[in-house]
């Protein structure tokens, strides 16, 4: 009989990385979410070779105290929750304290950060899971994370990376979905030094419509209905595409719960039902929707990658979504005139 032993931390982190870091876009998601949690107003993403060679995310957020740098890359270390109560009502995108150590365990990793009160920036590097001592560096207030040679030490994963264009496409899609939910933040995305996306920050309704158009194409807003409805402690707002804006693929469907993009069967079902009699078979609605509710009523700690949620009162949420969308779409049913959003 073999004896039981604790695994070395590098291996623990690599196992955790296996759950969350599937491809370059997963790294971008974790890093950009950290920037947003840090209050960034501007997030710059630089990619080389579809993310296989380099992923760099720079923000102007609050930064990390030099003494905390080693903790930032330690698993189960986080500044975002401290107790079970906090977990029950988490308001940040992150809370597991696992992303940075996971990413650092499967790449050549460097993080540089400076806080508003700090007189210098500090840099910490990790090579294949082994951290080196922090060193002083040059950087304005904020944080930059550089992830090079993703999966260089996990050949099985590296082999499954797709063509540069495909991986970059996933990254672009991810930035789009985050940019829809965080209109007040500026996003820049470049591949191999070429700027490909610049999303200027939006403030106020007209500006937000412009941001939605920048992300989804100029005519999306014109071909959709504005929804904003609150009741029973829930609020649903956003844009639902008119039947004429339906698509042959389900590629313009963004549903955010408390600012987090989720894929949820209950939500999908409510939406499908609301559109059932206004869309032809095989057509898919386009929509950008934001559901807001008390964080205590939704469990985001369902899956390590956090794209699933569980609603405490799932029936209530389903019916609220269905009724709100059904009502919004009622004008588009046969025989009635269609009014587009202004």
- What residues line the site for Mg ion (CB under 5 A)? 34, 94, 99
CA dist., res. 130 & res. 133, Å (int): 10
Task: Dig out the tokens for 208 from the structure.
Answer: 């937000």
Least distance in Å: CB of 279 to ligand ADP? 39
Pick between residue 61 and residue 134 the one whose CB is nearest to ligand ADP. Answer: 61
> Rounded to the nearest whole angstrom, what is the least distance from the CB of residue 9 to ligand ADP in the complex?
14
Q: Which does 105 bind (CB under 5 to 8 A by kind): ligand ADP, Mg ion, none?
A: none
Q: Which is nearer to ligand ADP, 79 or 192 (CB)?
A: 79
User: Which is nearer to Mg ion, 50 or 94 (by Cβ)?
Assistant: 94
Least distance (Å) between residue 304 CB and ligand ADP: 10
Would you say 14 or 35 has its CB closer to ligand ADP?
35
Contact in structure between 17 and 126 (CB atoms under 8 Å): no
CB 92 → ligand ADP: shortest distance, Å?
7
In the complex, what is the shortest distance from the CB of residue 95 to Mg ion, in angstroms, rounded to a whole number?
A: 8
Residue 6 burial class via C-beta count within 10 angstroms: exposed 0-12, middle 13-18, buried 19 and up: exposed
Q: DSSP readout, 239-298?
A: EEE-GGG-BSSS-SEEEEETTEE---HHHHHHHHHHHTTTS-TT-B--EEEEEEE-GGGE
Residue 171's Cβ-side half-sphere holds a number of Cα atoms within 13 Å equal to: 35
Contact residues for ligand ADP, defined by CB under 6 A: 30, 34-35, 38, 59, 61-64, 72, 78-80, 94-100, 143
Residue 124, CB-side half-sphere exposure with 13 Å CA sphere: 23
221 token code pair: 């807003």
Binder of residue 332, out of ligand ADP, Mg ion, none (CB less than 5 to 8 A by kind): none
Nearest to ligand ADP of 12, 100 (CB atom): 100
Whole-number minimum distance, CB 338 to ligand ADP, in Å? 44
Which is closer to ligand ADP, CB of 66 or CB of 238? 66
Secondary structure of residue 199 in the 3-state scheme:
strand
Distance between CA atoms of 123 and 62, rounded to whole angstroms?
15
If the CB atoms of residues 30 and 172 are measured against ligand ADP, the closer one turns out to be 30
Looking at beta carbons, which residue is closest to ligand ADP? 94
Q: Please choose, from the candidates 230, 223, 233, the residue with its C-alpha nearest in 3D space to the C-alpha of residue 332.
A: 223
Between 23 and 114, name the residue whose CB sits nearer to ligand ADP.
Answer: 114
Least distance to Mg ion, CB of residue 211, Å: 24
b/e code 301-330 from CB counts within 10 Å (16+ = b): eeebebeebebeeeeebbebbbebbbebbe
Closest approach, Cβ 76 to ligand ADP, in A, equals 9
Tell me the angle at which helices 205-216 and 164-181 cross, rounded to the nearest 10 degrees. Answer: 170
The DSSP letter of residue 129 is: T
CB of 316 to Mg ion, least distance (A): 30
Nearest to 341 by CA among 179, 228, 256, 203: 228
- In terms of CB distance, is 72 or 286 closer to Mg ion? 72
Which does residue 143 bind out of ligand ADP, Mg ion, none, counting CB within 5 to 8 angstroms by kind? ligand ADP
């Amino acid at each position: 009989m073999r004896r039981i032993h604790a695994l070395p931390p590098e291996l623990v982190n690599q196992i955790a990385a296996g759950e969350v870091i599937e491809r370059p876009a997963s790294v971008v998601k974790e890093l950009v979410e950290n920037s947003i949690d840090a209050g960034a107003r501007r997030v710059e993403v630089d990619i080389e070779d579809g993310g296989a060679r380099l992923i760099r995310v720079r923000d102007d957020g609050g930064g990390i105290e030099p003494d905390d740098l080693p903790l930032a890359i330690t698993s189960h270390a986080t500044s975002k929750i401290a107790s079970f109560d906090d977990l029950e009502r988490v308001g940040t995108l992150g809370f597991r304290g696992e992303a940075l150590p996971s990413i650092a365990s499967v790449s050549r990793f460097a993080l540089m950060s400076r806080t508003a009160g700090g007189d210098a920036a500090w840099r910490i590097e990790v090579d294949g899971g082994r951290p080196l001592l922090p060193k002083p560096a040059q950087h304005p207030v904020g944080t930059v994370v550089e992830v090079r040679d993703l999966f260089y030490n996990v050949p099985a994963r590296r082999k499954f990376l797709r063509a540069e264009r495909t991986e970059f496409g996933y990254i672009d899609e991810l930035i789009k979905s985050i940019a829809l939910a965080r209109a007040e933040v500026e996003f820049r995305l470049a591949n191999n030094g070429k700027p490909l996306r610049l999303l200027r920050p939006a403030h106020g309704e007209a500006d937000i419509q412009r941001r939605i158009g920048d992300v989804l194409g100029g005519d999306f807003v014109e071909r959709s209905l504005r929804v904003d409805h609150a009741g029973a402690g829930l609020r649903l707002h956003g844009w639902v595409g008119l039947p004429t804006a339906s698509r042959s693929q389900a590629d313009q469907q963004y549903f955010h719960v408390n600012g987090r993009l989720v894929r949820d069967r209950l939500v999908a079902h409510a939406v499908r039902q609301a559109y059932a009699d206004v869309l032809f078979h095989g057509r898919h609605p386009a929509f950008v929707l934001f559901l807001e509710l008390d964080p205590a009523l939704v469990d985001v700690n369902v899956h390590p990658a956090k794209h699933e949620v569980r609603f405490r009162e799932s029936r209530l949420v389903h019916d609220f979504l269905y009724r709100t969308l059904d009502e919004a779409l009622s004008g588009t049913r046969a025989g009635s005139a269609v009014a587009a959003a202004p």
